[in-house]
Structure 1
Amino acid sequence: MDTEKPSLPRSRQANARLHALIPGGAHTYAKGEDQYPEDLAPVISHGRGAHVWDVDGNRYIEYGSGLRAVSLGHAHPRVTEAARRELDRGANFARPSVIEVEAAERFLATVPTAEMVKFAKNGSDVTTAAVRLARAVTGRARVALCGDHPFFSVDDWFIGTTPMAAGIPASTSELTVAFPYGDLAATEELLLRYEGEIACLILEPAGHAEPPPGYLEGLRALADRHGCLLVFDEMITGFRWSEAGAQGLYGVVPDLSTFGKALGNGFAVSALAGRRELMEWGGLRHSGDRVFLLSTTHGAETHSLAAAMAVQTTYAEEGVTAQLHALGERLAAGVRAAADGMGVGDHVLVRGRASNLVFATLDEHGRPSQEYRTLFLRRLLTGGVLAPSFVVSSALSEADIDRTVEVVGQACAVYRKALDAGDPAPWMGGRAVKPVFRQRV
């Protein structure tokens, strides 16, 4: 039995300090200590490219950087230099900076299916703004979201639908209903059940599987027929599917769309984009009731907008989206081969578009298992791979991918032992990792 347990004394001390001062020990639940094996939650000191170092001095090949935000790698020179130049010129003023119109022009050239854009700091800002705008435009209160997609906002209209609904009035949660991805008939049935009540359909246009043929076009037609808006959450698909997101790749134009994550390569910037006639409801050229669309003190910080412009230029000039797909394909093929070679190909699965890979860990009965995920994560960390997912950045080298596959092979060997024993506990090193959304700690 493998009893190796790496020592992270400084990380453990830092985690204790984090929990003493910050609820949950992290500012994002998905980065919490409970998402990692017991005593194996490294606290990061710094990062460069596709590598990060913890406070104990250990180096890791990193995946899913910044919850998929850092798609060019850490401290990308072109991006950091653009931000640095703006920092020397001032970050925030009493009136708009000229960079705000430059950033808007650059974004709308990248996402030509939109006509206007407004920037903010995080994804929740802009998805909630989209919902508010849809309600104002349609005069309807209900929101229909895709129930197969894991996250849309920290705000009540979405969080009230999760197991962590404490503090949210039931009257608010009741205004959000769900439809299944890929099922046009079920979505139309929902629209008919709440005929004239649904303000918008909001979804990630693509996920771990490609949209069924005609699906997005069908949603577009349903929204038009039932008088609601179609909103694409492109936080993940933006840039990773194409520079213009899924709407650019699949050719289906939503009424509104939201971008973030890869847009800033780690800098805080997000965007609400859409049709001019809708976006103007939040402006000064609209004769009806004013919509408080977005008004954020830091939404137009100059350095974040400069970073976003540099990201878009880098994607366009260096073909980053194609690089992400090539790296992901190499990784997926290697992981599948390693899992098959150790006899666990039916238990360690790689899913998703090559630029946005995740993995599933199944038990001896083929069911998703947090216990086997714990075992797998522990072996990856032991081998110097920090991978809550297999989402690649363009900073990864082929050598990084090959080393990752080697470590995955080692993890799969242990996985096979646990399957043969019918019990992963001896290889977990402690309690199991937890799902983010759960009712009790």
Structure 2
Amino acid sequence: MNAEEPSLPRSRQANERLHAMVPGGAHTYAKGDDQYPENLAPVISRGSGAHVWDIDGNRYIEYGSGLRSVSLGHAHPRVTEAVRRELDRGSNFVRPSIVEVEAAERFLATVPTAEMVKFAKNGSDATTAAVRLARAVTGRPRVAVCADHPFFSVDDWFIGTTPMSAGVPAATDELTVTFPYGDLAATEELLTRYRDEVACLILEPATHTEPPPGYLAGLRELADRHGCVLVFDEMITGFRWSEAGAQSLYGVVPDLSTFGKALGNGFAVAALAGRRELMERGGLRHPGERVFLLSTTHGAETHALAAAMAVQATYVEEGVTARLHALGERLAAGVREAAAGMGVGEHVVVRGRASNLVFATLDEDRQPSQRYRTLFLRRLLAGGVLAPSFVVSGALSDADIDQTVDVVAQACAVYRKALDAADPTPWMGGRAVKPVFRRLA
């Protein structure tokens, strides 16, 4: 293991080329070079399993692969073979492919709490379709989003609630209201205040915290009593909590749910699923007013649907969710032990479900710190660990976990020095990493 910082001359040059042509230098803000220490934002050449190589030739153990989408590991043979079989058959036709039938059947067998499904290419389209459908079936204008969950859509109904709301009309923003996670009384107060105005409650069923006992069932009851639609955003919880989603794990069935991320193992596929009575409003077999639910040119590309089917089969047959949890538990225990051993156990904090771990970097006053995050990420990169989070993939080996823990221990030793000095600046190597959602560039 090389403790020196990686040399990234080609990556730095490629980042400059990206910024010259692509706003933000990446096609996802969370992949921007502002999320990494200065001059240490690698540009990736290839990936295999749990490892990636940058264009400078450096190899890394990777976490949070593809923003949590690559849960089986890069270039997983079963997925790539399924995709390869479809490529020579054509990918898009003027009528539905038989693959669309097979993919829908596979999905509904995997997620039996859903009665109908429609595929898309990204999660934002699916969540926005859920919101539109909820508004249509209830005749109500307002959307209630969980204030404690970071992202639901690139569309105005959500982006208007963030610090990057430039370009969103105030009239649109006013139609979105928020409720706190885990607080049924506050949610009921919101629904009472906006009586007969809220079309849906949309939330992730769980994130870095488990739902309090009875919370999701309580939301189900509130939605029924107040006549609004309950939507679970399962972009992350789908597959990582259970192949059938958190709704299966916790035994609470939403009216609509959205899936993505792990569904394609890196291939672009998402899904809107839910009760037939609601979903069919976007179809042709009902007497009422039609809803423009989802209609995307590339939403049913055959190779992406083939990838999704291979992912689902792999999860079910190989017990992938259990493996993700086992790997995450091993990693979390190791990181916590390493942090405690270096005297920073209350400052480098691992949180979340074992299959979806994140870490917090806290300062001398135990407050979240981007400056200490910069120090920590810099030392991880020096040890060959690319980890904006500690979200595991099934391709990690025990040796990968052990190496990661060793690197974390070295990073924590430096972290302790910074805490003792009450200033991480000497170890940051430049400007601090920045949050994605901020008002100014």
TM-score under structure 1 length normalisation: 0.99
Letter in 2 for 1:309: M
Partner of 1:37: 37
Give the 5 Å matches for 1:13-92: 13-92=13-92
Q: Structure 2 CA distance, aligned partners of 1:245 and 1:301?
A: 23
Q: Measure, in 2, the Cα distance between the counterparts of 1:251 and 1:313.
A: 22
Q: Would you say 1:148 and 2:133 are equivalent positions?
A: no
Report 1:30-429 matches (<5 A).
Answer: 30-429=30-429
Secondary structure of 1:404's counterpart equals: helix
For residues 148 and 191 of structure 2, what CA distance do their matches in structure 1 show? Answer: 17
2:263/2:311 contact within 8 Å kept: yes
Q: In the alignment, residue 400 of structure 1 is paired with which amino acid?
A: D
Question: Partners in 2 of 1:214 and 1:176 — Cα distance?
Answer: 26
Distance 2:430 2:394 in 1: 34
Deviations 1:227-270 (A, max 9, x none): 00000000000000001110010010000000000000000000
TM-score normalised by L of structure 2:
0.99
* Structure 1 ranges of 4+ moved more than 3 A: 3-6
**1:7 paired residue number:** 7
CA distance in 1, matches of 2:49, 2:366: 36
| Residue 5 (structure 1) shift | 4.3
Could you tell me how far apart the structure 2 residues matched to 1:156 and 1:210 are? 29
How far apart in 1 are the matches of 2:319 and 2:246? 16
Shift of 1:294: 0.2
Deviation at 1:293, TM superposition (A): 0.1
Q: Give the letter for the 2:37 counterpart.
A: P
8 Å CA contact 1:242–1:321 kept in 2: the answer is yes
CA contact (8 A) 2:179 2:190 kept: yes
Does the CA contact (< 8 Å) of 1:83 and 1:307 recur in 2? Answer: yes
Is 1:5–1:429's contact at 8 Å kept on the other side of the alignment?
no
* Superposed displacement of residue 209, structure 1: 1.0
**Equivalents in 2 of 1:140, 1:182: separation in Å?**
24
Distance 2:240 2:439 in 1: 32
Letter in 2 for 1:388: P
Q: Percent identity?
A: 86
* Counterpart code for 2:392: V
Q: CA deviation at 1:6?
A: 3.2
1: distance between equivalents of 2:288 and 2:166?
36
Measure how far apart 1:287 and its partner are.
1.1
| DSSP 3-state at the match of 1:117 | strand
Q: Which amino acid aligns with 1:88?
A: D
Q: Which amino acid aligns with 1:377?
A: L
SS of 1:101's equivalent in the other structure is helix
**Contact 2:6 2:58 survives alignment (8 Å):** no
Structure 1 letter corresponding to 2:429: G
Q: CA deviation at 1:7?
A: 2.0
Describe the superposition over 1:3-51 as per-residue Cα deviations: whole angstroms up to 9, x where unpaired.
Answer: 9543200000000000000000000000000000000000000000000
The answer to whether the 8 A contact 2:323-2:394 is kept is yes
Q: Quote the offset at 1:58 in angstroms.
A: 0.2
CA contact (8 A) 1:182 1:211 kept: yes
Look up the SS of the partner of 1:372 in the other structure.
helix
Q: Count how many residue pairs are aligned between Structure 1 and Structure 2.
A: 439
Unaligned runs of 5+ in 2: none
1: distance between equivalents of 2:112 and 2:5? Answer: 51
8 A contact 1:281–1:291 mirrored in 2: yes
Could you give the per-residue CA deviations for residues 158-200 of structure 1, whole angstroms, max 9, x where no partner exists?
A: 0000000000100000000000000000000000000000000
Contact 1:52 1:62 in 2 (8 A): yes
Rounded Cα–Cα distance in structure 2 between residues aligned with 1:75 and 1:248: 29
